[in-house]
Amino acid sequence: MADSTPILRVSNLVRHFGAVRAVDGVSFELYPGQSVGLIGANGAGKTTIMRMLITLDTPDSGEINYRGTDAVAAPDRVRGELGWMPDGFTPAPHTTVREFIDFYARAYGLAGKKREEEVARVLEFCHITELSDRRINTLSKGQTQKIALARMLIGNPQLLVMDEPAAGLDPQARIELKQLVNDLRQQGKTLLISSHILTELAEMCDSMIFMDRGKIISQGTQAELARQKDALYVQVRTAGPAAALAATLRARDTWQDVQEQAENTVCAAFTINGDEALALELRRLSAEFLITDFHRRELNLEETFVNVLKQRHE
Ligand code: ATP
């Protein structure tokens, strides 16, 4: 579990590309053993942050401190501790898996038996030892992602930064990736993972950072974020046709997921804020409709993100 000294401290990070403020004053901390999801729409600034954290890019201002070392001023002192799995990883197609991993182990500065052992270790960890002699251009997308993962693990880095690791993977490959990520968590690695597949991220991460247009708009553990809002699912009956009621509810912006269930029954959800708001909403609803069923549940990660974003833009 996380201890109390951060492994990484990011303060007031800013990065422009011309007029675009891709990262706009971002601050957060990562603690050893934490697995944190970085969530944001396209262009929110996730990749730009990640590239700066792993010293591939330099901020215009702000600080990145890795275990007490200024990573902006002294990138060479921290690089060996950082693992990077980029989005859209395309390894050299005509080399074999072993040659490719061996190349990076060499670049890491390993030689002789140590290098051999390290290559064997990462291939074994990612369950791709049997693919060692295959040319990379003969592998599936899921197998290629495992190579990206194996490459990231060379030298046993402590902080692992993964940009969209689940993108383009089929369900089985996603399950395998999730398992590998969870194995890394068990080893005590610290992970920062971005993904658009939020259900996946929910299962791989213990806390989340929500981003919008270069800024952090919310962060916390899943429980903390979910506690901020509930959804109330209500089934209502109408004397008239369900379609008419559904259209009425859809026109009100408080209602979501409006579905016609039968000729005169509609099921819908809306977000509520605490017990008093719930009681008030139920009173209002029962004055208007015949409520035949309702239940309350916490928002899932995707709904929580959409709500935080909606609130911010209102
Ligand atoms: P996605 O989910 O689509 O990968 P993202 O959250 O990773 O998006 P970034 O790739 O960090 O977002 O981009 C943030 C913003 O910075 C975007 O407006 C993007 O167009 C811009 N940007 C990123 N890199 C560059 C660059 N090298 N030159 C110019 N603009 C850039």
Ligand 1 atom with minimal separation from the 87 CA: 4
Q: Is the CB of 42 under 6 A from ligand 1?
A: yes
C-alpha–C-alpha distance, residues 101 and 103, integer Å: 5
Q: Is the CB of 197 under 6 A from ligand 1?
A: no
Of all protein residues, the one whose alpha carbon is nearest to atom 30 of ligand 1 is: 17
Q: What is the pLDDT of residue 310?
A: 77
> Using DSSP, how many helices (H) and how many strands (E) does the chain show?
11, 14
User: Taking 70 as the threshold, does the pLDDT of residue 104 lie above it?
Assistant: yes
CB atoms within 10 A of CB 169: 20
- Is-contact 298 278, C-beta < 8 A? no
Q: How far is the CA of 68 from the centre of ligand 1 (A)?
A: 28
User: Taking 50 as the threshold, does the pLDDT of residue 1 lie above it?
Assistant: no
* Mutational test site, ligand 1, from 48, 50, 193, 211, max ligand atoms within 8 Å of CB: 48
Identify the bridge partners of residue 134 per DSSP, sorted by sequence position: none
The amino acid present at 230, given as its one-letter code, is D
Mean pLDDT of the chain: 89
CB atoms within 10 A of CB 288: 11
Reported as a single tens digit per residue, the pLDDT across 27-37 is: 999 999 999 99
Q: Is the CB of 167 under 6 A from ligand 1?
A: no
- In terms of pLDDT, which residue wins out, 71 or 294? 71
Q: In terms of DSSP bridges, do strands 230-237 and 265-272 run parallel, antiparallel, or are they unpaired?
A: antiparallel
Reported as a single tens digit per residue, the pLDDT across 141-194 is: 889 999 999 999 999 999 999 999 988 888 888 899 999 999 999 999 999 999
Q: How far is the CA of 252 from the centre of ligand 1 (A)?
A: 34
- Determine the average pLDDT of the residues in 206-230: 85
The label of the residue with tokens 């960890």 reads 125
